[in-house]
Structure 1
Amino acid sequence: MSVVSACSDSPKALTGSKSDPSGSPSASQSDAKITASIPADATDVKVNRSLRLNVDGGTFQTVSVAGTSGELQGALAGDKLSWQSSGRLQPGETYRVRGVAVDQDGHQTVYRSKFSTQNLSMDQQTFPSFFPLPGATVGVGMPAIIRFDVPIENKASIEKHLHVTSVPAQPGAFHWVSDTEVHWRPQNYWQPGTKVTVNADIDSIPAGNGIFGQKSRTSSFTIGRSMISKVNTKTDQMRVFQDGKLVRTIPITTGQQPKYTTRSGVKVIVEKYRKKRMNSETVGIDPNGPDGYNIAGVEYAMRITYSGEFLHAAPWSVGSQGHANVSHGCTGMSTANAAWLYGQTLIGDVVEYSGTDKPMTLTNGIGDWNLPFDQYAAGSALS
């Protein structure tokens, strides 16, 4: 039988037992001494720790680390003097370590130990989700968005393990818009046809305040054709460009000024509804008041701000479209034009507004393009 490993004076040094390959005591003592970075029988081991085994007076033959949910991945160094884990520890698991080394005379040392990791509740783990959804085709203004269900305090620790790659490659940067949401946008609008991959490799990575990443996830999406619409609130016209070519000019009406001024700046289509009830109560206007409204089944509604600005069909204002601003902030057009636009639109398409002194903001919808790129990049935790 094997002799139980003995702890050294150092909490990080454990000397392996001496045994022959069959596990019975060896007639000759091996000079190979194995130590491990995590002590035998350790409990509540942090999941962000790594495991390293070293051998003096010999070389490793094999190392294996078996956890409850599978093997902990790792590799021997080229000189076989050490083994380093590459996989990450999982919470609430027991790991059993076995390392076999031989000295220059071929005498064998077998090292065995076990340790257990800390248990983590769901409130102690943060899970990443993606927008756009995996496999989506989106417009050239759509940033890669990663949302977390538990707030991130140590954003730098997490961001080091977030990666966005694209084909073709385009320079860009992360920007934290809150403790639970980080965006990545290219320096300029995406090139049409770009393939984008988002990797949140945060499994067991510390997020601060005792929180760790719950799971590593990857997503990908595709950029479609370029569609950029330009709205001029002074001329009440919207020009729609596809792949740089003007394909339609649409008479529109925007927010009545100064009471319901439509915001100027770069907006992005975030949602589409074939029909949507629009109730002024959702934007702080009493539906029973003189400016109130509660309209069922507004057609071809495309959201561009979280505060309630949409592009949509507005047959009730056709007489003002192209001539006057009479809406509560939305961009209204004829039903025929709205149906055409809706049919052409992807989530992530860009709508650029000009003509008012009320600015679009970063977080009222997808407002990423309203910051100059150097200011946007400064919102990275690693900047």
Structure 2
Amino acid sequence: MALSVAVLVLSGCTDGGVSNPVDVIAAKDPLSISTSVESGDSDVPVDTLVTVDGFDGDLSEVSLVSQDGKATVPGEIHGVRWTAQQLLEPATSYVLTAAGTGDDGKKVSSVTRFTTKALTLDEQTYPAVAPLQDETVGVGMPVIVSFDVPVRDRAAFEKRMKVTAEPATVGGWYWLSNHTAHWRPRQYWKPGTKVSVDLALNSVHAGEGVYGQQDQHVDFTVGRSVVHVVDTKRHRLTVKINGKNRRVIPVSTGDAKHRSRNGVKVVMEKHRSIDMDAATTGVDSDDPGYYNLKGVKWAMRVTNSGEFLHAAPWSAASQGNANVSHGCVGMSTKDAAWVFAQTKRGDVVNYIGSPRRLEPGNGWTDWNRSWDEWLEGSALAAGADAA
């Protein structure tokens, strides 16, 4: 604050002698308002965090709204500065209004108009989330965020990707690629856990001129614990519910040429009926092992490559004593219907006894990595957090 000093010298006689008091008089200045964007700017980056500063007085009111009035950017005043709490939308005209009172007691207002840069769809990446809103999932379900345009600055995004849970749960992010990130707890979810996913990614720079297309918020619940154990050597499926064995079911798994993969898998999809074409798994129609089955009942997918648990009435004679499938777990229609009814997306299916290993990324294979390996997949140094 600028000060103007006036010196007034007074002379007078007193019994104690001569005194010369000095009065300092401060001149009071008007409020000065400064904004981080210039009025008339027409190409403002969408990741601009707008600020307004007030000097020689107090800011009392700031608003940032789109010119059409459909969008409002919230913000807060701390001391002499107002800071927006959100970034900006592309190709949008904004009106920034600020008002306050100067040290001189007079009110001052300011209006700044600007427009943000337009972005093509190739310059924006959309975050799709699984589970879905209000879905009840199994204890092995990861939080999956998929981006349609690659994210190069993973750290910038991960800082704004939050998972919170009740009860609190330790977990962390792992980037499978620039298109996909998973969050999983250190151990299987506790049944009944309430989970919230918050992605504050709208207009965040993803690197190489790409920006987040929107924020996302998803709430989901973890249901009871259902863990299936497929023993490929003993040809049986054991269903454990809340830690207790509920049923042992005779099955047939992959034959010698098409071994079922060993490892911890997670139920990705459920279909009451589905057509199964071997061509989708890379088997040519001229191959002797080619098949095209219509209306397969009670099917639950566990790999991208086409492994399911499903009803297989055609292999009834082999169930419980031989492996004759192309990798799927086949069982009777009655047993498959029962398993289907117990199972949710995100339930665990643990395969044991097979010499063939499950490939990383062939489905939701998160549980086949140790916790230390998982933390190495984070874009941030800390890795784990308490959700």
Verify: 1:75 aligned to 2:70, yes or no. no
Question: Residues 290 and 55 (structure 1 numbering): CA distance in 2 closer, same or farther, change over 3 Å?
Answer: closer
1:285 deviates by 2.1
Q: Is the 8 A contact 1:152 1:208 kept in 2?
A: yes
Residue type of the partner of 2:300?
M
Q: For residues 62-110 of structure 1, what are the alpha-carbon distances to aligned partners after superposition, in whole Å with 9 as ceiling and x for unaligned? A: 2233323333322222x4x222222322211222223233332313433
1: CA distance between counterparts of 2:184 and 2:276? 31
Q: For residues 22-65 of structure 1, what are the alpha-carbon distances to aligned partners after superposition, in whole Å with 9 as ceiling and x for unaligned? A: xxxxxx99533222222222221111111222222222232233
1: CA distance between counterparts of 2:54 and 2:275? 70
Verify: 1:289 aligned to 2:287, yes or no. yes
1: CA distance between counterparts of 2:325 and 2:218? 39
* Segments of 4+ moved more than 6 angstroms: none
2: CA distance between counterparts of 1:113 and 1:277? 60
2: CA distance between counterparts of 1:325 and 1:312? 14
Residue type of the partner of 1:237?
R
Tell me the secondary structure at the aligned position of residue 166 of structure 1: strand
1:288 deviates by 4.2
2: CA distance between counterparts of 1:101 and 1:277? 68
Residue type of the partner of 2:75?
G
2: CA distance between counterparts of 1:276 and 1:101? 66
2: CA distance between counterparts of 1:250 and 1:339? 12
1:165 deviates by 1.0
Verify: 1:111 aligned to 2:110, yes or no. yes
Residue type of the partner of 1:44?
D
Question: Residues 236 and 50 (structure 1 numbering): CA distance in 2 closer, same or farther, change over 3 Å?
Answer: same
Q: For residues 192-233 of structure 1, what are the alpha-carbon distances to aligned partners after superposition, in whole Å with 9 as ceiling and x for unaligned? A: 111111111111111111111111110111111111011111
Q: For residues 278-298 of structure 1, what are the alpha-carbon distances to aligned partners after superposition, in whole Å with 9 as ceiling and x for unaligned? A: 222222223343222222122
Q: Structure 2 matches for 1:145-164, cutoff 5 A?
A: 145-164=144-163
2: CA distance between counterparts of 1:272 and 1:70? 40
**How many matched pairs?**
353
Tell me the secondary structure at the aligned position of residue 310 of structure 2: strand
1:175 deviates by 0.9
- Who is 1:271 aligned against? 269
Point out the structure with max Rg over C-alpha.
2
Q: Is the 8 A contact 1:30 1:108 kept in 2?
A: no
2: CA distance between counterparts of 1:130 and 1:114? 35
TM score, norm. by length of structure 1: 0.88
2: CA distance between counterparts of 1:345 and 1:286? 32
TM score, norm. by length of structure 2: 0.87
- Who is 1:373 aligned against? 371
Q: Is the 8 A contact 1:129 1:146 kept in 2?
A: yes
Residue type of the partner of 1:184?
W
Q: Is the 8 A contact 1:126 1:150 kept in 2?
A: yes
Structure 2 residues not aligned, in runs of 5+: 1-26, 382-387
1:113 deviates by 2.3
Q: For residues 315-346 of structure 1, what are the alpha-carbon distances to aligned partners after superposition, in whole Å with 9 as ceiling and x for unaligned? A: 22222222121111111112221121112111
Q: Structure 2 matches for 1:1-383, cutoff 5 A?
A: 30-68=29-67, 69-77=70-78, 79=79, 81-257=80-256, 259-383=257-381
Q: Is the 8 A contact 1:30 1:107 kept in 2?
A: no
2: CA distance between counterparts of 1:182 and 1:42? 36
Q: Is the 8 A contact 1:138 1:222 kept in 2?
A: yes
Farther off after superposition, 227-236 or 56-65: 56-65
Tell me the secondary structure at the aligned position of residue 276 of structure 1: strand
Structure 1 residues not aligned, in runs of 5+: 1-27
Residue type of the partner of 2:150?
P
- Who is 1:9 aligned against? none
Residue type of the partner of 1:50?
L
